[in-house]
Every structure is written in structure tokens, then in C-alpha cells.
Chains A and B, each alone.
Chain A
Amino acid sequence: MKNKKTLPIVFCIALSIIIFGLQSCEDDTEICGEGTTPRLIIKFYDEATNTEISESGVFSTTEFSDYAFSSQDSIFLPLSLTNEVDTLFYQTSTDATVTDTIVLTFSRKEEYVSKGCGFKVNYYNINATLGTTSETLQKIEFNPNVVDADNQINITDETEAHMFIYF
């Protein structure tokens, strides 16, 4: 039986073909799912009634400009990846003359997430000051749930709103 002698060679060649086929499979660990750099989540409240409301307007920061939103109860704003200070500029519309400002200060720390996402930036010890000349924005507050044991406000995820803005 001459065939028997060549069988291991056939086996080897067949294995090679299978392996090369498998190599073309996609690696799902290269895809980033959850765990990106958290954005500042702002929820809108009506100061007079202390209830949630939907608002419209335009936000700009050093990171982006003229982010217009309409009738939303909350917004997600990316914070600076390079500075310790970020200023939010609010206008009721793009052609409005009055600009309200919120100055945020924080410290940043990068945290490893996964192979697909790489790192994210967490923001710690956040302070926010509403500009004294603000007209539309009446008051800002942090969500008590994001204040940690040391009485610091940290933004490490996007599970709930971090800041409440009262109109």
C-alpha cells in the first residue's frame, strides 16, 4: 500500500490549509465597545419648579464649537484631554448676543480599559463655577451620587448625570 507512506504528508498539507483559513478570522478584541473616555453629562432642571425640563441651545468649549441641541433633557459634553481647565460657553441660539459661561477645573488621569479601546481619561476633583454675568443659566449643582467619600466630584463613567443645570 504505497498510499500509506504518503499519508502523513497529506495530513500535513491538509493541516496547513485549515490553519491558513483560520488566520483570516476577525479578532473581536480589537473592537472598542464599552469604556470610552467619560463625557460630562448635564441634566436640565427648571429652577422655579425644581423639575426636569427639556431645553434647547448651543454649547461650545475648547474641544468643540457650536453644538446645537433642541428639546433635550440631558446632553453629553466631551471634556478637554490636554488642559486642566475647560470653559463651557452657552448661548440660547447661535446668533444670540449673550453668552453664559461655566468654568470647570479638574485633574486628569488615564486608565487602561481594553485592547480594543486602549485607554480612557478619567476626570477627578472637579470644580465648576457659573459666570456671574450669566442670564439664562440660573444655578449649577453636582449630582450627589457622583460625590465620593472625600467630598470630591469625579467623572469616571457615563452611567448617570454628573451636573444639573437650572434654567
Chain B
Amino acid sequence: MLITKLILQMKQKHICLFIFSCFITWVIGQEKKDTIVETKEKQYKLFIGADMMSPLTGVWDKANGYEFNATMRLYKKIHAAIEAGYQENNYSKVNWDVDVEGMYYKIGANWSFNETDYSEDDFFYAGIRYAWVSYDQQINAYPLTIRDEDGNLTVQGSSTGLGKETLSASWIEFAIGARKELWNTNFFLDTSIRPKVLISSDEQQGVEAIVIPGFGDNINNVNGWLNVSLQYRIPVFKKTIKQE
């Protein structure tokens, strides 16, 4: 694709400007429909998908798992969304060795905008999710920080761990993304950035949550990641709508 090549060639600071201008072009380019053909029936369509990033991160990172999602347009621009996944992860920086694994669930909604004239299922969207997880955490080793008589800092690894405990956490996840039909099929590509803000987490023997399945590393209670989801469209049921 020519456009893809173009982006990769451009320097990073120009990318934002490019996206912004594309977006403006997109908005201006929207033509008002002259005549609206009212259909008597409204098609409810369920989109089920799998996140491709979740298993892929295992290639270069210790995070490994899977995530499935389902969305459905319920009312005008509002789409209900649920996501469920499993992730095992490990944190091993600064002499820590923390293993976590657990199932996480997200429930929320997307608000779609800029649907294409071509299809009402292609759009940009903004969404919000409430996510929660119950997970097992095993602290195999933890750091112990000491200073010597000259003030030099040394971080030692502990010889024993703190054992295993079941903990829970919850967070709010935002989604800003786009969905696009792939080559006139029922398959769709859905990509979104996911800023996450931790709202609750447990401590294991005083140790705050360092890494959480589905959330990732806890960096000052925020994190973010990318969802690249392959979705399939299933027509579910039709509902008759009164013509105005």
C-alpha cells in the first residue's frame, strides 16, 4: 500500500500532523445523504473477535495469553462491548520475580462516529470499559535495598519468596479506535489504543500490585496497550422499526 509506505518513510513528528489532516479531510469529505431510504427492518449484528496482540506479545515479552471480544450496535451510535481474556505474566526487573496468571473480564460500550457511506459497520469509535480480574500471584523473589557505609546503593535479591496468593484488581479502560471491513467479507479489523487507569488492587503481604493480568505492569496506576482484533460479523435478528 502506497499510503503505508508513505507513513513509514515520514519522520515521527510528522505522523501526528498527517493523522490530523487525514481526519479533517475525512470529516469535511462526509457528504450529506440526499435521500434517506428508511428500512422497515433493523438488522442487529453481533461481532465476535479475537485479539491478535495478546498471543503475539509472548514472542518478545513475558506476557502471554488470549482475549476474545463481542460487540453489538444496540441503539443508534451506541455499541455494547464485552471482552474476556486470560493472561500469564512475569515481572523480573529490579531483582523482582513475580508470576501472575488469571482470567479478566471487561464490560462497556463504544460510541461510533464517522461511519462510511459504504458501510455502517466501518467507523471510528471511542469507548469505555470496566475491567476486573481475579488472579494468582506468586512472588518468587523480591529486592532488598541497602546502602553501605559510603552511601552506595545495592539491591539484593531475596533467597526466599513470599508464596502464592489470590488477589483481585479492577480498572477503567478507554478505547479509541477504528473498525474496517476486510475486502467485502464478513471479517473486520478492529484496532484501538487502550489507556488504562487502575482503580483498585490488592496487596500481598504489603507488596502493592506490580503486574496484573490484562492490565500489565503497574506504572503509577496507569498503563496502555494496543488491541488489534480480527472480528467476524454475524447477523443475529431483525427488528421491525416504525417508519416515521
Contact = CB atoms under 8 A, between A and B. Distances in A.
A10 B25 CA distance: 13
Contact of B94 (A4, A13, A32): A32
A15 interface: yes
Interface stretch (A49-57, A106-114, A130-138, A143-151): A106-114
B191 A27 contact: no
A19 B7 CA distance: 15
Nearest to B158: A119
A14 B206 contact: no
Of A3, A13, A113, A121, most B-chain CB atoms within 10 Å: A13
B207 interface: yes
B46 interface: no
Contacts of B151: 76
B149 to A, nearest CB: 5
A126 interface: no
Interface string B179-201: 11000000001011100000000
Given A64-B149, A118-B144, A27 B29 contact: no
B51 to A, nearest CB: 13
Nearest to A111: B206
Contact of A29 (B15, B18, B219): B219
Contacts of B124: 8, 11
B201 to A, nearest CB: 12
A78 B146 contact: yes
Interface string B1-24: 101100110001001101100100
Interface stretch (B32-40, B128-136, B224-232): B224-232
Range class of the B interface residue count? 35 or more
Interface of A is mostly: mixed
Contacts of B150: 67
A115 B94 contact: yes
A162 interface: no
Range class of the A interface residue count? 35 or more
A36 B147 contact: yes
B149 A77 contact: yes
Contacts of B117: 4
Nearest to A121: B144
Given A8-B179, A78-B146, A113-B145, A118 B228 contact: no
A12 B191 contact: yes
A16 B155 CA distance: 36
A128 interface: no
A29 B91 CA distance: 13
A39 B150 CA distance: 11
29 contacts: A1-B29, A4-B116, A5-B116, A5-B118, A8-B122, A8-B179, A9-B1, A12-B189, A12-B191, A12-B228, A15-B193, A18-B16, A21-B12, A22-B224, A32-B94, A37-B146, A37-B147, A39-B149, A67-B149, A67-B150, A75-B149, A77-B149, A78-B147, A81-B146, A115-B208, A115-B210, A117-B145, A120-B145, A121-B144
Interface of B: 1, 3-4, 7-8, 12, 15-16, 18-19, 22, 25-26, 29, 93-96, 116-118, 122-124, 142-151, 153, 155-156, 158, 176-180, 189, 191-193, 205-208, 210, 217-220, 224-226, 228
Interface of A: 1, 3-19, 21-22, 27, 29-30, 32, 35-37, 39, 59, 64, 67, 75-78, 81, 110-113, 115-121
Given A37-B144, A81-B156, A119-B144, 20 more contacts: A3-B25, A5-B122, A6-B3, A7-B22, A8-B179, A10-B7, A11-B177, A11-B191, A12-B180, A12-B191, A12-B228, A15-B177, A27-B219, A29-B219, A37-B147, A39-B147, A78-B148, A117-B145, A118-B95, A119-B142
